Amino acid sequence: MKKCTECKKGEMLELSAKTPEGFEYNYFKCNNCDEEILNMKQLHTVAQKYREMKRFNAKISLWGMSLGIRIPKELSKKYNLKENHEVAIIPEKEGMKIIPI
């Protein structure tokens, strides 16, 4: 067991939590003074998850009676999307997932 470097009395317990984006990560928390730390491995893991979740912004526009979004070039390349390709739109709790079919 790791001793707490802050109060020098407690033990650091490994716990897990979620970032606001929903990434689970581990951290250590002192069972005496509540000091919380991440070691380099834990920090690396959560940083890697953030890097993988690169965000793209797109504006919604009106196309006829429907709404459309422009897919950024980088993403259409990555997923090999071409004009007239069909995709599946899967509703999820906090948004939609677009799957090439």
46 is an interface residue for Zn ion by CB under 5 A = no
Number of shown-chain residues binding Zn ion (CB under 5 A): 8
Segment lying near Zn ion (by CB under 5 A), choices 5-13, 19-27, 61-69, 81-89: 5-13
37 is an interface residue for Zn ion by CB under 5 A = no
Q: How many CB atoms lie within 10 A of CB 46?
A: 17
C-alpha 15/C-alpha 2 separation (Å) is: 13
Range 52-58 contact pairs with CB under 8 angstroms and sequence separation of 24 or more = 53/21, 53/23
- Contact residues toward Zn ion (CB under 5 A) are 4, 6-7, 10, 30, 32-33, 35
